[in-house]
A and B are shown apart, each in its own frame.
Chain A
Amino acid sequence: MAELAAPGVSSDVAQGSTEAQMVWVRLGIAGVAVVAVYAPVLVGLAEDWAAFPNLSHGFAIPLIAGYLVWGRRREIEATPIAPSWSGLPLVLISLGAYAVGVLGGEPFLARVSLPITVLATILFLGGAKVARRMLLAVGYLLFMIPLPYVTLKGLTDQVRFFDATMSAWALPWLGVPVLQDGFLLHLPRITLEVADVCSSIPAVAALLAVGAAYGLVNRRPTAVCAILVLTAVPFGILSNIIRIILTAAGTYYLGPIALHNVVHAWNGATVFIMTLGALIVLDGLLMRWWWRR
């Protein structure tokens, strides 16, 4: 037998439920509008993720951001919705930046404005408290945006040079004579080039995203999260240098066959696995330290 509720309670509950549905309908309409107006940017991003293996982690970012929202759904549902005009300036700025980016031929500006527009929309239609709850998930979307070509190319070249220099420094310790000339490593019978795809930089963007996802999904304390994100960069660079050294040493001792092994051919996956392993070990150590405090 159903329990009878006191008069007025059921109608309040029903009204609250309807209001909650209204809120989500409104946010859904706004979300569809944002997706529609950003369609050219989203298509361009998806094309870049598909075209460049180093950017392919972009496909996973919206899914992880969605998972972060889903994981916090109870807290978000419990947060009162209070639309706020204070979100309007941010809406105007972000959509203005989008228009300037498209018309001025600055795709990075147009792309970066997308997560800001999403946050501004939540702030405007949902209020500051809801926006605060969703800040991490929306901020995480920044990882899906590739750096501008000029910046990425410049960083890639600098880190290629650094990778080559560190490898040339370490190889004699393994008994491998080497002469470095820019990105080239001259070994006795072969010359190896630390090419664009061998640079640590393209992997670092993905590894930053992995470090952040690892910390956020596991709900690590903010300090631990920050350490995991920041250490993903040196771990990624170090893993890549170790991979280059092993490839060069293998080529010297075994011949060009070493260039066709899994460690070299699957360079992105190799660096990714090495870095993820290092992050997991570091996370274990950090959490042990955290609980002992």
Chain B
Amino acid sequence: MRVLDRYLLTFLGIVVLTGIVVVSPRRPDEAPLPPMGAPPLELHDWVGADGAPDDVLPIDERAVDGFRRTYRKQGATVWLAVSRYRATGPLVRPAIKQIAALRGASAVTRSMLTIHPNGVPGASRSVGVISLTRGGRGYRIVYWYLLDGDLVIDDYALRLRLLLDGLRMRPRNLVLVRVATGNDAPAEALLRALLRHLVPA
């Protein structure tokens, strides 16, 4: 028996090939992200202020940055949270259910909501809805991910797209948008009206 037979040579060939693929430089520089865009504080009839309850809309520790707003109209209150993640390298996979549970809330149900964004007649987008309870109070969180503008609501679809982006060496930065209402939630029509301004066409 020889040390270097066809089995070992084949194996070493595959390993070297894998090493070349894995080690070859392909990661883009971690350049600073451009400033985050934010909706205006006065959004049609809604009047906004900075800040929102951390226990309802916690911002994940892995987010690069983010902001929270509170919008009010006709006695109704809606909270908005936007957090941004780098889509390069590991640990950038937010998952709405885990983020929602960060402050002790227990997730109850997940569903979808169809919104007709403003400015594009006939257009409709589906967004995710998660209902949870915390401290005996119920909350409804409408959410969607934006992958450089592409709207995604399924966690696994998001992971797959990030994986494919990584393989194609075209990482895109990721934004998670959440809109929450509490027990004093506005009527469905009011909430939908606000979402029509926030959901991209």
Using a CB–CB cutoff of 8 Å, the interface residues on chain A facing chain B are 19, 22-23, 25-26, 29-30, 33-34, 36-37, 40, 83, 85, 88, 91-92, 95, 98-100, 102-107, 121, 124-125, 148-150, 153-154, 157-158, 160-161, 181-184
Contacts and interface: CB of A to CB of B under 8 A. Distances in A.
B11 A98 contact: no
A92 B14 contact: yes
Nearest to B55: A182
B95 A150 contact: yes
Given A91-B11, A124-B7, A104 B26 contact: no
A105 B159 CA distance: 10
Contacts of A150: 93-95, 98
Interface in B157-176: 159, 162-164, 166-167, 169, 171
B22 interface: yes
Nearest to A102: B22
B10 interface: yes
B135 interface: yes
Contact of B104 (A95, A124, A161): A161
A37 B18 contact: yes
B8 interface: yes
Which among A30, A88, A181, A182 has the greatest number of chain B C-beta atoms within 10 A?
A182
A182 B105 contact: yes
Given A25-B3, A99-B22, A104 B162 contact: yes
Nearest to B18: A95
Contact of B21 (A99, A121, A125, A153): A99
Interface string B87-108: 1111111110110011111100
Contact of B15 (A22, A33, A157, A160): A33
Given A104-B166, A157-B101, A157-B102, A125 B7 contact: yes
A83 B162 contact: no
Given A124-B7, A157-B102, A182-B104, A106 B163 contact: yes
A157 B99 CA distance: 10
Interface string B1-24: 111010110111011101101110
B8 A26 contact: yes
Given A29-B3, A30-B8, A182-B134, A105 B14 contact: no
A23 B1 CA distance: 8
Contacts of B5: 26, 83
Nearest to B163: A104
Nearest to A181: B135
